[in-house]
Amino acid sequence: MSNPILAGEELKKYFPARNGTIKAVDDVDFQMEKGEVLGVVGESGSGKTTLGNMIMGIYPPTAGRITFKGEVLPSRAKDRPIQLRRDIQMVFQNPASSLNPRRSVRQTLEVPLTATGEKSVRQRINELLETVDLPVEYADRYPEELGGGEKQLVAIARALATNPSLIVLDEPTSALDVSIQAKIINVLMRLKTRLSLSYVFITHNLSLMRNVSDRVMIMYLGKVREVATTDEFFRNPMHPYTTMLLSSIPVVTEAEEAVKPQRTQSVGEIAGALNLPPGCSFNPRCSYALDVCKEVDPPLIEVALGHWCDCHLYPNEYKKT
């Protein structure tokens, strides 16, 4: 990408622990274009939420850097210029905990509007509520009077209040009933087009990624294991961890079952964050592991045009034809 809106270079985030060091994010590189939805997918403990928190400046990187619109982001949010803080917003996983129960919807939305010097606060609050498909009379309600989906829509409205260009979405639907998830996704995708937004969409749900993302980035124990466009990713998954995830997606029809990759069995247990195995951290669970996998952690290489994977099963060089 010649001019990415967001990029990470050699990002690391280590947390000291009593018995060692937790490598939550370990040497991660990524890029995304303006208007793109980058899906960051992985099991619990993969490092995807830590990555989102580093983008937001909640966690400073242990090493590496993040650039936004070509400028290096200060590692802590408090050190970022006000315009950068306006331009990058986040929607958290659980709206019940991300909204202050003592503040009405109006008071919640007033905070970012006042901070950005908005003059027509009441009018702007009404506009934000209408934008996320909530009645304007909800402005005087409190979180306890709202359903889970309505709370998340308020959280989305709050993120939109500063007119951002990038929003980090950390599992925005996982705490909601299935019947409500589709509404939230529809609102998010409509807003992306209408407001020219870019999304970092963090989730464990690969089925969801198929419908909303432009590219998918798979993480496992702090490292990026595979990156590809969504079409390529689902048509030609390469990393054994990826095929394991895809083959475990539940389906309801034989047609859906037919397009799933051959089931990949996990033969071991997930390594502990404080006791990572040498070599590729997936090798204890991989039924295709080679001797080299137990000694050398493979680099992330381009194994097909625009398709990146770190696995010793694939050649170390890819020549574009």
Terminal Cα-to-Cα distance of the chain (whole angstroms): 19
Mean pLDDT of all residues belonging to the chain = 89
Residues near 101 by beta carbon (within 8 Å), at least 6 away in sequence: 142, 143, 144
CA 168 to CA 321: how far, in whole Å?
Answer: 36
pLDDT band at 273 (very low <50, low <70, confident <90, very high): confident
Among the listed residues 167, 152, 147, the one whose alpha carbon sits nearest the alpha carbon of residue 99 = 152
Q: Where are the domains of the chain?
A: 6-309
- Does the pLDDT at position 320 exceed 60? no
CA dist list (Å): 245 to 118, 234, 266, 300: 46, 11, 10, 19
Contact 24, 62 (CB under 8 A): no
Residues near 140 by beta carbon (within 8 Å), at least 6 away in sequence: 104, 105, 106
pLDDT for the residue 271: 76
Enumerate the H helices of the chain as residue ranges.
Answer: 48-56, 82-87, 95-98, 105-115, 121-131, 148-160, 178-195, 206-212, 230-235, 240-247, 254-259
pLDDT of 277-314, one tens digit each? Answer: 999 999 999 988 899 999 999 999 999 899 999 999 98
Task: For tokens 């702090």, name the residue.
Answer: 222
Considering the entire predicted model, what is its pTM? 0.91
pLDDT for the residue 192: 96
Percent of the chain exceeding pLDDT 70 equals 91
Burial of 42 (0-12, 13-18, 19+ CB in 10 A): buried
How many CB atoms lie under 10 A from the CB of residue 266?
16
Contact 84, 73 (CB under 8 A): yes
Fold of 6-309: Rossmann fold (3.40.50)
pLDDT of 134-153, one tens digit each? Answer: 999 999 999 999 999 999 99
pLDDT of 73-108, one tens digit each? Answer: 999 999 999 999 999 999 998 888 889 999 999 999
Contact 26, 223 (CB under 8 A): yes
pLDDT of 123-133, one tens digit each? Answer: 999 999 999 99
- Which residue did the predictor score with more confidence, 35 or 118? 35
